[in-house]
A = this chain, B = another copy of it.
Amino acid sequence: MTDVIEAGGALPPLETSFPRSHKVYVEFEHGGHRLAVPKRRVHLEGDEPPLDLYDTTGPEAPSALEGLPKLREEWVRPREEQECVTQMHYARAGIITEEMAFVAVREGVEPELVREEIAEGRAILPANRCHPELEPMIIGSRFLVKINANIGNSALSSSVEEEVRKLRWATRWGADTVMDLSTGENIHATREHILRNAAVPIGTVPIYQCLEKVGGRIEELDIDIFLETLEEQCEQGVDYFTIHAGLLLSHVPLTEGRLTGIVSRGGSILAKWCLAHHRENFLYTHFDRILELVRRYDVSLSLGDGLRPGSIADANDEAQFAELEVLGELTRKAWKQDVQVMIEGPGHVPLHKIRENVERQVDVCQGAPFYTLGPLVTDIAPAYDHITSAIGAALIGSFGTAMLCYVTPKEHLGLPDAEDVKQGVIAYKIAAHAADLAKGHPEAQRWDDALSKARFEFRWEDQFNLSLDPETARSFHDATLPAEGAKVAHFCSMCGPHFCSMKITEDVRAYAREQGLTASEALEEGLREKSAEFRRAGGELYQG
């Protein structure tokens, strides 16, 4: 499957990845517009009701060149003349926008909750008015935990078409937003293609393009190049920018004793600029100009943690937390301008230091959504960092982190291909969903219950189809018991028919039912005769 994608062919149809699923739309009116919120409906066997799942796959595009339908075109038209068009601006004015109404249905909550969380800055709804293809989504601790997938070509590899396919592939498996981290050539055209084919918010790190413009000479960067680049990207429809405005000149010496120095690309670029000029970070000193620009498009800011730890040894150190203080200050500035903000977090953090990251962030940034990269809970497993980091991501998500940036198996080693993207997204869907369960989300629990019920009732096809990756689940089953008959069998290859605990439990229950008794009544009444009958019946059951 992955080979097809690598070779540049079309993606396999949705039905191949998700058999017996189809898209449904919850349709309703809001503000004179017809809204249609996508769900993936999984059909189950017999009388089992279908299960509707949150869906990130986006509409089909006739072709990558043509792009997706422009869903939001009519919603944003009336906003064009205005100086500030941010969702925060409308939320604070008591207005429930089309985007807010959309995400309320998508999340299964009241629109007023959405409005309030955005107004208070505890959630963001990243939706550039120039990105009409977007299906709105929300990032905040009161909502489902989201995941981001990074794509993007580098100087060394990959084409525009490949990046669009990676985008569609990532959202198929559940990516809620995608960051385009391209640093190579064709950076503008790649982004244009990605945006016109993206039903999810697209984020970028604009300093990368700025650095291309100055030929890699960091010291030649300045605020004018930066603002010009921002405007170019605002016009294209980028939904959020990572901006490393919190790294100050005085923080750089704090990294000196570190084992792994500065590992954020953006952070290292700005640290070098600061030292080269011996001046304060121009993103910090000109932050107001950035805000003035982005509020006209409603681009959200993702305040980058340029000093995030790059190893277990450097976690939760002075440099990291000094920068966080500045991010808190910038959050307040942004909110004054009605600009939506989230805060980026680490990185590499051992399990026992994860909670402190969330508590400090919530405190310092007054509840602005937290968006973390992993964190990896150990450094010793390159090639498995989707796992080392999914562990940290699940935990930090359960503590209230709103979005988790994925890590692929290639992290620290090479560029992810399509299979790596899928592996990264699935590991992070697991982490995000585990966090949702821990936070008591009722829809999350329903999904687990549906799958476990199917498992217990030996509905193998339902078990596959309800899983995050039906095709792989089925192929793993078939590797041991390929016959079609095995998929209706009341046992599996792990234990064989005599040893299947679920089969035995089923027999125990069937016996109780036959006798018109619950197992507990059978016990309470102490019916020794009945147990003799059961012994005989049980003997027969095991012949089958």
Contact = CB atoms under 8 A, between A and B. Distances in A.
A272 B504 contact: yes
B378 A430 contact: yes
Contact of A157 (B464, B480, B507): B480
Interface string A464-493: 101111001100111111000000000011
A156 interface: yes
A430 B387 contact: yes
A379 B455 CA distance: 10
Given A183-B498, A383-B467, A538 B473 contact: no
A464 B453 CA distance: 43
Contact of A390 (B218, B380, B387, B433): B387
B155 A384 contact: no
A449 B313 CA distance: 7
B219 A539 contact: yes
Q: Looking at chain A, what size class is its interface with the partner chain?
A: 35 or more
Contacts of A394: 351, 377, 391
A464 to B, nearest CB: 8
Contact of A472 (B183, B383, B464): B383
A344 to B, nearest CB: 14
A336 to B, nearest CB: 30
A92 interface: no
A467 to B, nearest CB: 5
Given A434-B351, A520-B256, A278 B527 contact: yes
A316 interface: no
A157 B528 CA distance: 39
A113 interface: no
A382 B217 CA distance: 49
A218 B88 CA distance: 65
Contacts of A24: none
Nearest to A348: B452
A507 B276 CA distance: 11
Given A259-B456, A414-B476, A492-B413, A467 B380 contact: yes
A111 to B, nearest CB: 28
Contacts of A337: none
A469 B381 contact: yes
B351 A493 contact: no
B531 A271 contact: no
B217 A496 contact: no
Interface string A351-387: 1100000000000000000000000011111111011
B275 A398 contact: no
A456 B388 contact: no
Given A260-B455, A350-B438, A476-B410, A154 B493 contact: yes
Given A217-B539, A313-B448, A438-B352, A476 B388 contact: no
Contacts of A97: none
- Which 9 pairs, one residue from A and one from B, show the smallest C-beta to C-beta distance? A253-B520, A261-B505, A414-B480, A311-B452, A268-B501, A278-B531, A351-B438, A268-B504, A155-B496
Interface of A: 154-157, 183-184, 208, 211, 216-219, 249-250, 252-253, 255-256, 259-265, 267-269, 271-272, 275-278, 310-313, 348, 350-352, 377-384, 386-388, 390-391, 394-395, 398, 409-415, 417, 426-427, 429-431, 433-435, 437-440, 445, 447-449, 451-453, 455-456, 463-464, 466-469, 472-473, 476-481, 492-502, 504-509, 511, 518-520, 522-524, 526-528, 530-531, 534-535, 538-539, 542
